[in-house]
Amino acid sequence: MSTTEMIPEEFLLAVPKTDLHVHLDGSIRLPTLIDLAREYRVDLPSETESGLRELVFKDRYKNLGEYLKGFGYTVGVMQSELALERVAFELAIDCQQEGVRYLEVRFAPQLHVHKHMNSVTVLRAVNRGLRRARDDFNSRTAVATQVEPAFEYGIIVCAMRMFREGFSEYYSSLVEAHRYAPPKEVYQMASLELARAAVIARDEYGMPIVGFDLAGEESGYPADDHAEAFRHAHKSFMKKTVHAGEAYGPESIFQAITDLNADRIGHGTYLLEPDAISDSEITDKVGYVRKLGEYIADRRITLEVCLTSNLQTNPSIQSYADHPFKKMREARLSTTLCTDNRTVSNTTLTNELRMAIDHLGLTRHDLKSIIIYGFKRSFFPGSYQRKRAYVRQIIDYYETIERRFYGPVA
């Protein structure tokens, strides 16, 4: 019997899962995008789902630029509190429907800041949507009686490695106000301001802001440009994750864990690839990668792997079978599978798991390990003791599902 036959779709949908790397603005429902575009007068290249799939949100993209094009439309319609709340609510519902029980939604609030909304206002709107979806789900009898584990969520705040005028009203104003300052200083200002807003949203407004992130173009925009912001997050006991090794080499990952104290790495695709190193000062590339991989493995710094997204944006990955995820597993690295962008990548978490099973040899034992580790390495917003209890409930529930499909658990 093949691995695929041993792990049916019904099982993948039934088991509790996490999605620790999913972008809000990359995961809007297409009918909602069309609806909000009409309401806020944002011009779309098509007003049908099929048309948008053909022209914008594809299964494969020519390059990263084409992949990112869709965000201009999604961010464009998410410029009001009501729109942000709606998109967040619907994302949570979509995740719940495929068995995601813990969700960490990330986005860059400054892409939505304008004269009517500051970063905290933006965060509050997103939190309202996620909280409403959580409360609706957890009011179900099966959850209220603890037959099933509750749905929980956290929000990860993203700073941008670089930006320019046109990214948003906020960024345009900042660039204009500091037109003669070096770009690096302007990036520093924005990320530090955002880190402070994230801590305020968590500590003064009680929002589940669980992490601080750095996203955007890696090449030419090093992590240490944002060290002060991450130092503020670190000193405020906020966890950190950094997009690194997605479109640049292993040295980008090294910067993330040393300059920014990253607890997790977003993507990390090039972690074990010595040929991806471009720093001329690194002469022993094989040794560098080996030591970096050992360090990350030993510290259990989890890699948030996004198979479909990487396949769509990385020309060196021609098929799912080419993805270095299998190599990561063989190196005993801590990994979890995520969607990145459900709409832009036209995927779901169940699909990501399916692709790993079908193309990368993920066994039922591997599947359980990866899923449970997602819960363990999450930035859960409650206390450590509450997180332990929640993870224990998740494991018990997972094993209940296993018995239903496969009989007694060994």
- Count Cα neighbours of 236 within 13 Å in the Cβ-side half-sphere: 23
**169, 246, 251, 352: which one is catalytic?**
246
Backbone phi and psi for residue 170, each to the nearest 5 degrees, phi listed first: -60, -50
| CA Rg value for the chain | 21
Task: Please answer whether residues 109 and 122 qualify as being in contact, where contact means their C-beta atoms are separated by less than 8 angstroms.
Answer: yes
Q: Is 246 marked active-site?
A: yes
Task: Tell me, rounded to whole angstroms, the distance of Cα 319 from its chain centroid.
Answer: 21
Burial pattern 19-57, b for ≥16 Cβ within 10 A else e, equals bbbbbbbbbbbbebbbebbeeeebebeeeeeeebeeebb
DSSP 203-260: HTT---EEEEEEES--TT--GGGGHHHHHHHHHTT-EEEEEESSSS-HHHHHHHHHTS
Do the beta carbons of residue 229 and residue 238 sit within 8 Å? Answer: no
Measured between alpha carbons, how far is 217 from 183 in angstroms, rounded to an integer? 14
Which residues have a catalytic role annotated?
A: 246
